[in-house]
């Protein structure tokens, strides 16, 4: 099969490799579309530590080709999307990829592979931040009281999925922050319930003042920072009041949250960690349940993927996509590639 490997300098080479075999609890997926993520360009300069080129892809949509021992609920030919385990071999930049059955979900026929490939990593990151990190009301037990929530980076895929999940949980007002993607973010909000989007380009002081004003006199105890750089942590911190929680994407560095505010990262890869001894419900089981919820949402029409742009050339288009992600050219869009467009691949 054809498989793409990302080098430290983001150059991409395509090689012929063997089709992997799924182990226990795993599925082998014939990849139709692979998504890309910011981590795919951020990791290569640092990992693997020895500089070995690596298949960094983790978002995929395609068809089940084979299942390993113990897999229940999937069979060959099923249309699915999946979250490949970060930093593990056999990723989505290939004709075939491996994923845990717990991070795989069915995709309805009416949902395109391109849309489905935008979902796994970003959506589960948003869900982990809202519900595992901050313990906010779940979609099947929505709140009935006003609950101000700041979502910084609303046009990012993670931020947009956080908005969608918060809407399902009836969390309002949603106080979102964005820039070029503001028109897109507005399509996700409910102004009648106090939702608002703030332009970070107006400067830090303006952003902090508008966040507080948008709460309508209520204290703000929760924030999801899908950016976690360029002053976002400080802008959020200036508006929060303890007790409360902040879910962030990157390490907080020297930032000190307000008194009574707990801060922690929403790490998508944690859904692949086995539960600790003596515990049965942790991130892994949460992820397994939530991915199935996402599949039901797609089938029933109350959930959707992110906006996407198809990069031409199949696996050969990955290098340009990663460079554009690094250069900050992606706004309110996920770059995806169709594996069948790769030279030498016939699907």
Instruction: Give 10-residue mean pLDDT values along the chain (347 residues).
Output: 97 98 97 97 94 97 98 96 96 98 97 98 97 96 97 97 98 97 97 97 96 95 94 94 94 88 90 67 87 97 98 98 95 96 89
Residue 331 burial (10 A CB sphere; 0-12, 13-18, 19+): middle
Q: Is residue 300 part of a domain?
A: no
Q: Is residue 275 part of a domain?
A: no
pLDDT for residue 336: 98
pTM of the model: 0.95
Domain match, 128 and 164 both: yes
Domain that holds residue 51: 2-118+307-341
Q: Which among 246, 270, 294 is the end of a domain?
A: 270
pLDDT for residue 250: 86
Domain match, 155 and 101 both: no
Residue 308: name the closest of 45, 80, 117 by CA: 117
If you search the block for the tokens 């770059």, which residue do you land on? 335
3-state DSSP assignment of residue 196: strand
Q: Is residue 279 part of a domain?
A: no
Q: Is residue 287 part of a domain?
A: no
Q: Is residue 29 part of a domain?
A: yes
DSSP state of 275: P
Q: Is residue 159 part of a domain?
A: yes
pLDDT for residue 278: 58
Residue 110 burial (10 A CB sphere; 0-12, 13-18, 19+): exposed
CA angle at 280 for the pair 69 and 128, rounded to the nearest 5°: 95
Angular region, 117: left φ>0, alpha ψ -120 to 50, beta rest: alpha
Domain count, the chain: 2
């Amino acid at each position: 099969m054809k498989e793409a490997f990302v080098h430290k300098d983001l150059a991409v080479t395509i090689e012929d490799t063997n089709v992997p075999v799924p182990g226990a609890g795993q599925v082998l997926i014939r990849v139709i579309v692979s998504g890309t993520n910011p981590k795919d360009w951020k990791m290569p300069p640092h990992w693997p530590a020895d500089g070995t080129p690596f298949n960094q892809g983790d978002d995929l949509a395609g068809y089940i080709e084979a299942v390993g021992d113990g897999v229940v609920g999937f069979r060959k030919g099923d249309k699915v999307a999946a979250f490949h385990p970060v930093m593990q071999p056999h990723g989505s930049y290939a004709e075939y990829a491996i994923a845990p059955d717990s991070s795989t979900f069915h995709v309805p026929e009416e949902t395109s592979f391109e849309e489905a490939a935008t979902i796994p990593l970003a959506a589960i990151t948003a869900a982990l931040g809202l519900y595992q990190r901050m313990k906010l009301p779940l979609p099947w037990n929505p709140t009935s009281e006003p609950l101000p929530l700041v979502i910084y980076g609303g046009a990012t895929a993670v931020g947009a999925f956080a908005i969608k999940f918060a809407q399902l949980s009836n969390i309002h007002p949603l106080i979102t922050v964005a820039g070029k993607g503001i028109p897109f973010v507005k399509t996700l909000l409910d102004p009648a319930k106090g939702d608002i989007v703030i332009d970070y380009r107006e400067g830090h002081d303006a952003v902090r003042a508008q966040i507080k004003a948008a709460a309508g006199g209520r204290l703000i105890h929760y924030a999801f920072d899908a950016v976690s750089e360029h002053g976002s942590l400080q802008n959020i911190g200036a508006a929060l009041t303890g007790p409360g929680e902040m879910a962030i994407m990157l390490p907080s560095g020297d930032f000190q949250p307000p008194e009574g505010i707990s801060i922690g990262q929403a790490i998508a890869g944690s859904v692949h960690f086995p539960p600790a001894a003596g515990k049965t419900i942790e991130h892994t089981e949460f992820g397994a349940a939530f991915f199935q919820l996402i599949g039901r949402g797609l089938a029933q029409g109350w959930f959707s993927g992110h906006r996407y742009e198809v990069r031409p050339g199949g696996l050969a288009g990955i290098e340009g996509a990663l460079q554009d992600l690094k250069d900050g050219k992606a706004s309110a869009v996920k770059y995806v590639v169709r594996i069948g467009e790769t030279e030498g691949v016939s699907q």
